[in-house]
Amino acid sequence: MALTNGLNLTCMIDGVAQATLTNVNVSADNGAIDLDTFEGFSGATPGIKKLEVSATWAVKLNGLEFSFFDAIADLSFHDVQIPIGSKSLISRGYFKTGSITRSVSSATEASCTFVGKFEKPE
């Protein structure tokens, strides 16, 4: 039986790799709108392509690696890159939500949601 290495999903914000990520979830939506015609044909019309990235970090003693709370408050735009093998998903967008949680006997974690335009991996 051969052993293989799995892909470690990471995230870069404005070109800086996030070292303390504990979880990254990426979803893409092409925004297509379903169409049905009177003649019985069906298809789709293009819509707004959206990439949504949810990420969770372990919070270090000196704070967050990236202050997404500032980005949320300012509604500032940022570049997010998700390397996948030899290609990357690259998107420009904004941080929509953020939270910090801590439970008994676990590290403090911060999480956020980024929304940007979906493009083909480069």
Residues in the chain: 122
d(CA 8, CA 76) in angstroms, rounded, equals 28
Tell me what the mean pLDDT of segment 44-58 comes to: 91
Domain ranges of the chain: 12-29+44-117
pLDDT for 2 equals 54
**Rounded distance, CA 116 to CA 95, Å?**
9
- pLDDT, average across residues 68-73: 94
Percent of the chain past pLDDT 90, that is, above it, reads 51
Q: Report yes or no: 98 and 70 within 8 Å, Cβ to Cβ.
A: no
Q: Does residue 76 have a pLDDT over 60?
A: yes
Specify the pTM.
0.83
Closest CA to 5 of 85, 94, 59: 85
Task: Give me 40's structure tokens.
Answer: 């019985």
